[in-house]
Amino acid sequence: MGEDVIVTARVSRELKAKLDLLARQTNRSEADLANEALAAYVDVQAWQAVEIERSLAEVRAGAKGIPHDRIVAWLESWGTDNELPPP
């Protein structure tokens, strides 16, 4: 990877206390934990943004979607004895 840079962020006292405690419990630096957490967050958000744009492009191109009621029925079946397959 490239050269590390410094990023400054304001966080709540509660979050700072949790970060400090976790750093001590895991014998890691706050910077390492913050870097790991930020990297994971950015990766997930970037993936979601790409997938949303891909889906919107499909809709704009005329792709047929899945009716809302089928999605709701599928979601409501989760955790039941009659869980439905994905639509």
Give the pLDDT confidence of 11-66 residue by residue, as tens digits: 999 999 999 999 999 999 999 999 999 999 999 999 999 999 999 999 999 998 89
pTM over 0.95: no
Q: Which tokens is 61 given?
A: 């191109």
Residue of 46, 22, 44 whose CA lies nearest to 33:
22
Alpha helices by DSSP H, listed for 1-87, are: 13-26, 30-60, 68-77
Quote the DSSP letter at residue 80: S
The three-state secondary structure class of 68 is helix
What is the pLDDT at residue 13? Answer: 98
- Confidence label for 2 from pLDDT (cuts 50, 70 and 90): confident
Long-range contacts of residues 2-11, Cβ cutoff 8 Å, at least 24 apart: 7/38, 9/34
pLDDT at 1 over 80: no
Domain boundaries, the chain: 30-87
